[in-house]
Amino acid sequence: MRSVRVDLDEASAMELVDALSMIAAELAGRDAPDSAAACLELTETLVAASDRQESALASFIGQVDAAGEQARWGYPSTQAWLRSRLGMRDGRAKERLVLARQRHRLPQVAERLAAGDLSYGYAAAVADSVARLDDTDCAEAEATLLGFVEQGFSAGKVAAFGRRIRDVIAERDGAEDAPDEDTKRGYDKSWLTTTRSLDGGRYVKGWLNPEDAAIWDGTLAPLAKPAGSDDRRDLAERTAAALSSVLSGGHKASKVTVICDLKTLTGGNAPGRLADGTPIPAAQARRIALAAGVSPLLLGRGNTPLYLGYRERFASAAQRQVLETLYSSCAVRGCEVPGALCEVDHVHGWALGRSPTDIDQLALTCGWHNRFKHANPDRIRISKDPNGRYVYRLLPPRDVGVPRATSPPADLDRAA
């Protein structure tokens, strides 16, 4: 007889999670009862239990986020950790992160969620509604939205009421009669607007979500440092100069890279693809080639210098074009930064004398992971996929040991 024995008063959080994991594994392996009525009752009970687990999950995620622990594991943000390592959809990762960050400002929501008196859907809706409010408005909004919950409104309706509360507060604080378009956009996706000034300049306004903010910081922060003791520019001026440098260096000319067979260019029907993997019809590939000319990418020694050895520290433009064709995103598994925004990385370290500037010794990594790899060379496992591309896998910090997520299932006979 298999059993899980847990002293609820004495067990640690780790022991409780282990026991819960074993029970969940056992439940998942069983067939559903034949009775539909029984399944309905079991579903409602299980969902209620899952909501209470979300309370504990929010607490754990909040601790990771506050301490910045995800950075030690090689992830630029908590949301990136949730999405890449735990496989969450971006929307769900953001929803859980918002609840984790707001729960300390929502005592009633936190208490009721933990007690099983409030569903996760309602808790997430309230947390998202108050994320941009100050503490005073947050407390009032919490009471108001929980009142709507008591009246029987759905979680979707409560979320809509939350958006209206934000609009009313914006009007109270001096906004126009109607909330502006920036407020209506919300904070799920990044956005930028630019307006041309009379003298030919541009005003720039926008919002970056945490993911894009991490890319911004990782790319521009090193370039925005003072150039020396004589650099009298303030941070705003240096940041603008850094942005201009990135744009001028990475976008000297608009280009479209199409990968296709020679037969496609000469009338064949095999589809081509863009550098990000998007397939395009053969006819469209030929039209692009006809309009732009054909520039061959030679994966070997030939007319294009793809093997530069140790004489050159930096990859050539031709090498980068090849790498952007091979890597649609950062070489680190799970990182979604587009290859066109990545940096060229010497796989085995140019400074160490082990990796020449040769095309078969280079990969693309985002700025964050390029620096992480340089600072933590023992935390990256390098392999190749069937197509010959390098794949970097992040390893846990030394003081952590084997990741629990990859550990073998615990024995159900073990007493927790």
3-state secondary structure 188-226: CCCEEEEEECCCCCEEEEEECCHHHHHHHHHHHCCCCCC
Please indicate, yes or no, if residue 93 is contained in any of the structural domains: yes
Query: Do 125 and 48 belong together in one domain?
Result: yes
CA distance 377 to 380: 6
Query: Do 242 and 138 belong together in one domain?
Result: no
Query: Do 171 and 93 belong together in one domain?
Result: yes
The contacts found for 90-96 with CB under 8 angstroms, 24 or more apart, are: 91/188, 94/188, 94/209, 95/124, 95/128, 96/54, 96/57, 96/58, 96/61, 96/124
Query: Do 167 and 246 belong together in one domain?
Result: no
Give the pLDDT confidence score for residue 118 in this predicted structure: 93
Please indicate, yes or no, if residue 191 is contained in any of the structural domains: no
Query: Do 305 and 286 belong together in one domain?
Result: no
Give the pLDDT confidence score for residue 301 in this predicted structure: 43
Give the pLDDT confidence score for residue 104 in this predicted structure: 93
Please indicate, yes or no, if residue 1 is contained in any of the structural domains: no
Please indicate, yes or no, if residue 107 is contained in any of the structural domains: yes
Please indicate, yes or no, if residue 354 is contained in any of the structural domains: yes
Give the pLDDT confidence score for residue 275 in this predicted structure: 64
Query: Do 289 and 344 belong together in one domain?
Result: no
Give the pLDDT confidence score for residue 198 in this predicted structure: 61
Query: Do 337 and 279 belong together in one domain?
Result: no
Please indicate, yes or no, if residue 268 is contained in any of the structural domains: yes
Query: Do 55 and 118 belong together in one domain?
Result: yes
Write the CA distances from 177 to 165, 171, 172, 214, integer angstroms: 14, 6, 9, 35
Give the pLDDT confidence score for residue 300 in this predicted structure: 43
Query: Do 254 and 347 belong together in one domain?
Result: no
Q: pLDDT digit string (tens) for 253-299?
A: 445 567 777 677 667 888 877 766 677 788 877 766 655 544 444 44
H or E segment and range at residue 69: helix 69-72
Task: Tell me which of 294, 319, 336 is where a domain ends.
Answer: 294
Query: Do 89 and 158 belong together in one domain?
Result: yes
Could you tell me the residue range of the domain that residue 158 belongs to?
A: 40-177
Instruction: For the chain, list residues with pLDDT below 70.
Output: 1-2, 174-188, 196-201, 210-211, 214, 228-230, 248-257, 262, 265-266, 275-277, 287-315, 350-357, 400-416
Please indicate, yes or no, if residue 72 is contained in any of the structural domains: yes
Please indicate, yes or no, if residue 33 is contained in any of the structural domains: no
Tokens for 176, please give them.
């126009």
Give the pLDDT confidence score for residue 211 in this predicted structure: 64
| The overall pTM is greater than 0.85 | no
Give the pLDDT confidence score for residue 203 in this predicted structure: 82
Number of folded domains that form the chain: 3
Query: Do 257 and 309 belong together in one domain?
Result: no
